[in-house]
Amino acid sequence: MATYGFVEYDDASPEVRAVYDDIRTVRQTDYINNFWKALAHDPATLRRTWESVKQIMGPGGALDPLVKEMIYVAVSATNGCGYCVASHTAAAKKAGMTPEMFGELMAVVGMANETNRRRLS
């Protein structure tokens, strides 16, 4: 199956580069992960998605960044998105998640999924 690959910074349009630059600035990193590089084939979708993520996952709001990342990990695990689990686990660790917190989070996810399935059967 053919794919379109990822849009690297050097090959990106000025519009895509602007989003990549904002991601780098906000996340304080030089790394742009493949999720964003795949979305960059449609610059409007890239920008819209980044703005939404930045607003919801960024600082501010009633939930602190660690809680937001842990929720993202839990939902990603439930949805079976290993890429998202890895990415947001790294972000949660950066925000202060300990190995013990991760273990407890995965226990809660497993228990919730098990009891939800039992309720529906």
Site of tokens 């304080």: 28
H-type helices in the chain, by residue range?
14-27, 34-39, 43-57, 65-79, 82-94, 99-120
Which amino acid type is present at position 85? V
Could you tell me if 31 and 8 are in contact, meaning their C-beta atoms sit under 8 angstroms apart? no
- The answer, yes or no, to whether residue 17 has pLDDT greater than 80, is yes
DSSP 8-state code for residue 44: H
**CB 35 within 8 Å of CB 87:** yes
d(CA 41, CA 113): 35
What is the rounded distance in angstroms from the CA atom of residue 117 to the CA atom of residue 70? Answer: 22
Asked if the model's pLDDT at residue 12 lies above 90, the reply is: yes
Domains of the chain, earliest start first: 1-57 (1.20.1290.10), 62-121 (1.20.1290.10)
Please report the pLDDT score of residue 2 as a whole number: 54
Residues 39, 49: contact at Cβ < 8 Å? yes
- Measure the CA–CA gap between 7 and 5, rounded to whole angstroms: 7
Please give the average per-residue pLDDT across 94-115, as a whole number: 97
Cα separation of 6 and 100, whole Å? Answer: 35
51-89 tens-digit pLDDT: 999 999 988 899 999 999 999 999 999 999 999 999 999
Q: Is 18 helix (H, G, I), strand (E, B) or coil?
A: helix
> What does the pLDDT read at residue 59?
86
